[in-house]
Structures are given as C-alpha cells and as structure tokens.
Amino acid sequence: MSNLVKGKKYQWETVIGLEIHAQVKSNSKLFSNSSTVFGSKPNSQVSLVDAAMPGMLPVINKYCIEQAVKTGIGLKAKINNYSVFDRKNYFYADLPQGYQISQYKYPIVGEGKVTIDFKDGSSKDIRIVRLHLEQDAGKSLHDQNPTKTYVDLNRSGVALMEIVSEPDIRSADEAGLYISKIRSILMYLDTCDGNMQEGSLRADVNISVRKPGDDYGTRCEIKNLNSIKFIKQAINYEVKRQIETLEEGGVIDQNTLLFNTSNGKTRPMRSKEEAHDYRYFPDPDLLPLEINQKDIDKLKISIPELPDDRKKRYVKDYSLSNYDASVLTADKSVSDYFDTVIKSDKSLQDSSKIVVNWITSELFSLLKDNNIEIYDSPVSPNHLGKLVNLIKANVISGKIAKDVLLEMFNSKEDPEIIIQKKGLKQVTDTSEIEIIVDEVLLNNKKMVEEYLSGKDKLLGFFIGQSMKKSKGKANPKILNDILKNKLSKKN
Amino acid sequence: MKLDTNTINKIAKLARIRLSEEEAKELLKDMNSILDWVEQLNEVNTDAVEPLANISSAILPQRKDEAQDINSTDEILKNSPDKLEGYFAVPKVVE
C-alpha cells in the first residue's frame, strides 16, 4: 500500500510521530490525595499540594506507578527499574507550581511497540520510544469573558502517562489506527478510561514531509487534539500545507501549531519568539523511583488477555480473518460480549462467523439507533446465542430472526418464548409448503406461462408471493426447491 | 563559564522577574562569582560517574490510592484577588 501524497510537482512521503497523553485511571492524584472525578464543581478537588501552597510536599501514589508499569507491559516495553522525576519549568495560569513534575532523562518505561492492522489483512509495527509519568495541568476557559481567563484546578495534578512513538507513522489513517490501538490496549488494561471527549486521552502530532529516500524534513507539532477525527483532519490539512509551501520554494518553520476545529486549519501558537526553555532538573522534593523486578513480575501476572492475543485466539479457534478479529477485539466490551455468546453454548463454537455477523450488523445498528452501549445491551449474550442456534436449527429463517431480535431488544425476552408467542416458527413441513406453492401457481397462471417461455426472473416473484402467503415463515430453501421442482414438472 | 547581560536578562524573563539595568549589572557580578566558585568542581574527573538525582539514600515514600472528599473551592479561592462562580479569574491568556 503506497502512502505517497501527490503534490503538484512531486510525490511526498508523510512522516508522523505521536505523543499521546493518557490520564491514569486512579481514585486520587499522582502526588496528592484529592479526587480525580471528572465534572465536579470547579476547584472543589484541589488540595494544598495541587494549589502549590508554600511548604507542601508531593507524595507519590503507588497505584499510579503500577498503572504505568502495567501499561508498559501492555506496550511490550522495557520497564526501567530506576527512573527520576524532573521539574519542567514554565509559567501558565493553570500551573500553580510554575513547573510540571515530569520525567525527562530517566522515564519509567522505555522502548516498546504496538501493532496496527489494515483492512487488507496486513499489519505494521509502530515503535514506542518511551512512556513517562507526569502531572496534568488545570483547565483554562478562555471564551467566557473578553478580558478574563477562568481557571479550574480540579485536573491539576492528575496523573498522566505520556506515550511517545517513533516517527514510524506514514499517513492520517495509520495515525488513526495507532491511537485506536493504544486506546484499546489501555482500556483492556484498565489503566485509562479512554474517554477522548472528556480529555482522558489526547495527542500532540509531529508532522513533516519529505521526498522518498530523503532525510526527515522540518517538523511541526500540532498540540492537544482530542478526537481521532480531528487528528486525521489536522494531519491531512498540515501535510497539504507543507507540500504546497515546499513546492512553491518556501521553507517550513519548526513551529508549534493549534488546530482550529471549526475551519479545519492549523495556525501557529503566538508565543513563538519565546522558544521553550524548560530548564529540566531533578525535583529535589522527590527521590528517584526504584522498582524491583519482583514487583514488575507480580504485575505481569495480573495483565489480562490483550487485544493482540485475543485476535490471535479468534483467528486460531474461530477461523476469523485477521482484520475481522482485529475489529472485534478493538473494543473490549464488544469482544467480551462475543466471548460470552460463544461460551453460552458449545455448539456455537462452529458458528462464530454467524455470531460475529449478528453482533456487528443487526445488534450494532439497534444499539446505535438507541444510543446504548453493548455492555448495557437489552439482548443478553445468552439470548443472542439462542437466536443463532434457532436459525441454525431451521426453527426460524434469517429474515424472521431480524424481527425476533428487534422484539428481544424491546422486551428483553428469550427468543424461544417470542417465537412461540407470535407463532413465528418456520414451516419446514414440505406438504404445508406445497399447498402454498400450488395455490400461488394456480393464481398466477399467466406468469407461469411467461416463466416457462424463458422469463427466468419470475422465479423471484413466485418465491416472494409464496413467502408472503406463509407470512415469512416458510423455510426459504425448502420453498425454493419445491417451487423449482413444480415449475420444471409443468414444462 | 561567564554569563553576559543578555543571559541574565533571559533568565530574568523566564523567571518573570523585571530587572533594572542597575540590578542586572549587580546580578551579573554575583552570579559570575557563584559560577566561578562552583567551577572548582571541574577539577574532579566525573567521566564515569552517573549524575546524582538526590543525595538521600532513603527510598521514595509511596501512598495508597485513596481519595479524600475535600470540597476545597472556598478555601482554595480565599487568596484569589478575582474569582467567579468557583473559578479563579486571571487576565486573559490566549494562545
């Protein structure tokens, strides 16, 4: 698959690296015991440590360390037994300390990798440079007042994991797949809630372009994107802008950019003359973080089955395609649902593809229309399994099954009960079907003649009429056979 | 290593401290003499020594992940010269 972008004059290659900021799922903040709950009253979860009152000292949250280590294991990365917290110094209204406690030279997690899967069944590894722990800043509201900015420090001090990739990404689509995959891994591990709308997961995107084979071009960084859609939009816009600039003989300034979500354009941040000078140095309030191998090994045991392992299992045990399996495993709750359906009855093991289809087409569309998440599905995995078995056993046709599913969705009832109550059981009794077919052929003599003189298409009409007469309950295959048989006899 | 006035002014700007020319001159002298003093350390060969993050040999104390409901809004805003509905109000900062 070629990812080259055509300019007016040349073909260009896009080079992208991502810095993902993932909020650690924890009850309390990284260095204080105030709560991390989203959406609380402004400034109600701000301890004296978070507000940087003089004399306050940070004490690290053990669970946040474990969450970072688990994430490192999930990213197949090296866990560093020794890491150091540094101060990253800058002034901003939502950073009361005047510095962010972060990790610079010695991060808690080193090199790792993440695999992304493409529609054509191929896959690609994106290398991870590092993951480090740091504090989140507060939140600023700029658009409420013409002369004021309002600051809420509830988020100040919440633990973040910054996950930095190598510049291995070559297109907006790859960037989308990469961030989806990271999100999926984090959610399987339960180390981040993955909620992009609430800002639990956001990304800075580094972009440059080059002619294939050349060295890396000058890169720009787009800050703080919080949806996959915006990330793709911002990349596509920025790539086009860089190519146009270069083809017109211009140069790319290494700049920090903001993406305007309403017009889809990037623009440079204003304060560029003050090139960032963070003056990192080890935070004297915090000792180096040492993690012994025993604790790492203990955490390794607690790691659940991750999307890639599940994907492999699905391919192996249920002979799903690599891509189907990757789609199914991307969302843990979908994958959990599928697993529960399959496990609800042994006979379903061989019908995994039918189960996948019923989940990803019919059930998904019902859930989507009603804005319900799969883990709240009114159709229980058990009931869906039963429905699939009823189709397989020819008790109902696939078409009737759709109606039954809708009824199951609305009433939460067992499909067997619904079928019984509504008399939807499929007619497989050939004599019953024969009566219907005879009647249809008798009532449509002219059509029968036309059919016999070569208008093959009319078969569909007879099937439709017979089906209608049976109220959709005739077994389609038997009906088809009987019709063909009777028509051929008339010849 | 010798500082010049430009560097002094840059450091002052990064620290958000306004200096008069007179003050900058004084600081230049002071800081250069501090640097001279520290530079004595260059006499020691540290090629094979890892930088030290902390001189204490204690182990980083860790706390349990327990959150306290502190409902801090009133207390935290007490010293703020300007506020609105639970928010700090500061001069507009827009990037």
Residue positions counted in chain B: 95
Mean local confidence (pLDDT), A288-295: 95
- Residue of A83, A87, A150 for testing the chain B interface, max B β-carbons within 10 Å: A150
A chain contacts of residue B87, beta-carbon cutoff 8 Å: 42-43, 141, 150-152
Q: How far apart are CA A31 and CA A157, in angstroms?
A: 7
Q: pLDDT by residue (tens digit) across A314-345?
A: 999 988 888 889 889 999 999 999 999 999 98
Q: Which has the closest alpha carbon to A135: A157, A116, A152? A: A157
The CA distances from residue A137 to A43, A140, A155, A258, B88, in Å, are 13, 9, 6, 18, 14
CB atoms inside a 10 Å sphere around CB B13:
13
Q: How far apart are CA A153 and CA A369, in angstroms?
A: 37
Note whether B63 contacts A33, CB cutoff 8 Å: yes
Query: Which ipTM was obtained for this model?
Result: 0.90
> Does B50 contact chain A (CB < 8 Å)?
no
Cβ-contact A256, A223 below 8 angstroms:
yes
Q: pLDDT by residue (tens digit) across A142-181?
A: 888 899 999 999 999 999 999 999 999 999 999 999 999 9
**The pLDDT of residue B95:** 56
B86: left (phi over 0), alpha (psi -120 to 50) or beta: left
Residue A196: is its pLDDT beyond 60?
A: yes
- Residue of B88, B90, B92, B94 for testing the chain A interface, max A β-carbons within 10 Å: B88
Note whether B64 contacts A62, CB cutoff 8 Å: yes
Please state, for a pLDDT cut of 70, what percent of chain A lies above it.
Answer: 98
- Residues near B52 by Cβ (< 8 Å), separated by ≥ 6? none
Q: pLDDT by residue (tens digit) across A122-145?
A: 999 999 999 999 999 999 998 888
Mean local confidence (pLDDT), A359-371: 93
Of the pLDDT bands very low, low, confident and very high (cuts 50, 70, 90), residue A453 is confident
Q: Give the residue, B38 or A422, on which the prediction is more confident.
A: B38
Q: Which has the closest alpha carbon to A163: A284, A76, A34? A: A76
DSSP element (H, E) containing A7: none
- Residue of A149, A224, A270 for testing the chain B interface, max B β-carbons within 10 Å: A149
Q: How high is the mean pLDDT of chain A?
A: 92
Q: How far apart are CA A350 and CA A101, in angstroms?
A: 53
**The pLDDT of residue A377:** 94
- Residue of B18, B70, B75 for testing the chain A interface, max A β-carbons within 10 Å: B70
A chain contacts of residue B12, beta-carbon cutoff 8 Å: none
Mean local confidence (pLDDT), A230-257: 94
**The pLDDT of residue A41:** 96
Residue found under tokens 């019902």: A366
A132: helix, coil or strand?
strand
> Does B91 contact chain A (CB < 8 Å)?
yes
> Does B17 contact chain A (CB < 8 Å)?
no
Q: Give the residue, B51 or A259, on which the prediction is more confident.
A: A259
Angle at B36 between CA B31 and CA B37, to 5 degrees: 100
Cβ-contact A124, A171 below 8 angstroms:
no
The packing angle between helices B5-14 and B21-38, to 10°, is 100
Q: A202 is written with which tokens?
A: 């956001």
Mean local confidence (pLDDT), A305-320: 93
DSSP element (H, E) containing B20: none
Note whether A274 contacts B90, CB cutoff 8 Å: no
**The pLDDT of residue A491:** 64
Please state, for a pLDDT cut of 90, what percent of chain A lies above it.
Answer: 70
Residue of A nearest to B71 (CA): A44
Note whether A140 contacts B61, CB cutoff 8 Å: no
**The pLDDT of residue A156:** 97
Residue A427: is its pLDDT beyond 80?
A: no
Cβ-contact A330, A341 below 8 angstroms:
no
Note whether A27 contacts B67, CB cutoff 8 Å: yes
Q: Which is it for strands A123-135 and A112-117: parallel, antiparallel or unpaired?
A: antiparallel
Note whether A142 contacts B92, CB cutoff 8 Å: yes
Of A25-34, A177-186, A411-420, A469-478, the range with the lowest mean pLDDT is A469-478
Residue B51: is its pLDDT beyond 60?
A: yes
Q: Which has the closest alpha carbon to A134: A73, A190, A90, A74? A: A90
Min Cα–Cα distance to chain B from A164, Å? 23
> Does B87 contact chain A (CB < 8 Å)?
yes
Q: Give the residue, B85 or B94, on which the prediction is more confident.
A: B85
Note whether A148 contacts B84, CB cutoff 8 Å: yes
The CA distances from residue A322 to A317, A353, B95, in Å, are 12, 13, 44
Note whether B65 contacts A286, CB cutoff 8 Å: no
Q: How far apart are CA A306 and CA A185, in angstroms?
A: 7
Domains and CATH numbers, chain B: 5-43 (1.10.20.60)
> Does B55 contact chain A (CB < 8 Å)?
no
Of the pLDDT bands very low, low, confident and very high (cuts 50, 70, 90), residue A483 is confident
Residue A465: is its pLDDT beyond 70?
A: yes
Q: A291 is written with which tokens?
A: 């993690």
CB atoms inside a 10 Å sphere around CB A174:
22
**The pLDDT of residue A485:** 86
B chain contacts of residue A145, beta-carbon cutoff 8 Å: 84, 89, 92
B chain contacts of residue A92, beta-carbon cutoff 8 Å: 93
A123: helix, coil or strand?
strand
**The pLDDT of residue A274:** 55
Cβ-contact A404, A419 below 8 angstroms:
yes
Residue A302: is its pLDDT beyond 80?
A: yes
- Looking only at Cα atoms, what is the longest distance across chain A? 100
Of the pLDDT bands very low, low, confident and very high (cuts 50, 70, 90), residue A424 is confident
Q: pLDDT by residue (tens digit) across A42-67?
A: 999 999 999 999 999 999 999 999 99
CB atoms inside a 10 Å sphere around CB A294:
8
- Helix residue spans in A254-380 (DSSP H): 293-302, 307-318, 322-330, 332-344, 352-357, 364-369
A chain contacts of residue B50, beta-carbon cutoff 8 Å: none
Residue A14: is its pLDDT beyond 90?
A: yes
Cβ-contact B88, B77 below 8 angstroms:
yes
Mean local confidence (pLDDT), A206-213: 95
- Return the number of CB contacts < 8 Å for A and B: 141
CB atoms inside a 10 Å sphere around CB B10:
14
Cβ-contact A228, A196 below 8 angstroms:
yes
Note whether B92 contacts A51, CB cutoff 8 Å: no
Note whether A145 contacts B64, CB cutoff 8 Å: no
Q: Which amino acid is at A172?
A: A
Residue of B nearest to A289 (CA): B60
User: DSSP string covering A383-423, please?
Assistant: HHHHHHHHHHTTSS-HHHHHHHHHHHHHH---HHHHHHHHT
Note whether B72 contacts A43, CB cutoff 8 Å: yes
Note whether B53 contacts A84, CB cutoff 8 Å: yes
Q: How far apart are CA A383 and CA A405, in angstroms?
A: 9
DSSP element (H, E) containing A24: none
Q: Give the residue, A398 or A368, on which the prediction is more confident.
A: A368
